[in-house]
Amino acid sequence: MIYSSHSVDRKIHNIAQINESVKSLRSEFVDTRTILIKYKMESSVSRKINQMGIATSTEPPVKIIIIK
């Protein structure tokens, strides 16, 4: 009885700890994702490559499809 009560307590502390790390991992994920999205946004990519003298094309790509 006493043993199982203590073992429950131990598990609860364990769960709390794991929950905490789940939260921080989730936070880290969103944080990193935010940074990624900002980098990936076309406006920020084009701002960077503009300095290198490259601009986005104003003409669409042409896809050539060959029908057999």
Partner 1 sequence: MATTKKHIINRTYIVSILILILAVSVVFKLVNIQFVKGDYYIGLSEQNNIKNIIIPANRGSVYSSGGKLLATSVPKYDIRFDALAPSDKNFNENLTDLSNSLSEYYNKPASFYMQLLRNARESKNRYLLIARNLGYNDHLLIKNFPLFKLGSYRGGVIIEQKTKRDYPMGGVAQRTIGYERKDDQGNITRPGIDGAFGSKYLKGTDGKRLSQKIGKGQWKPIEDFNQIEPQDGLDIYTTIDVKIQDVAHFALLEQLEKFKADHGSVVVMEVSTGEVKAISNLGRTSIGTYYEKLNYAIGESHEPGSTFKLMGMVAALEDKVVDTSDVIDTEAGVLTFYGRNVRDSKRGGYGKISVAKAFEVSSNTAMVKLITDNYKENPTKFIDRLYSMGLNKTLNLPILGEGIPKITHPSDKKNWDGLDLPWMAFGYGISLTPLQTLAFYNAIANDGVMLKPRFLREVKDFDKTVEVFNKEIINPSICSKETAKKVQKMMQNVVEKKHGTAHNIYSPSFSMAGKTGTCQTEYWKESGLYISSFAGYFPVENPKYSCIVVIHKPDKKIGYYGNIVAAPVFKKIAQKIYSETAIEDRLKGIEITELESENKTHINSIENRSLMPNVTKLNLSDAIALLENLGLVVEISGNGIKINQSVKSGSKIKKNQKVILKLT
Establish if 48 lies at the interface with partner 1 (CB under 8 A).
no
DSSP string, 10-53: HHHHHHHHHHHHHHHHHHHHHHHHHHHHHHHSHHHHHHHHHTTT
Task: Report residue 44 as tokens.
Answer: 């920020």
Establish if 1 lies at the interface with partner 1 (CB under 8 A).
no
Per CB under 8 A, the list member of 7, 32, 48, 54 interacting with partner 1 is: 32
Establish if 2 lies at the interface with partner 1 (CB under 8 A).
no
Task: Report residue 20 as tokens.
Answer: 């905490």
* Contact footprint for partner 1 (CB under 8 A): 8-9, 12-13, 16, 23-24, 26-28, 30-34, 37-38, 41-43, 56-68
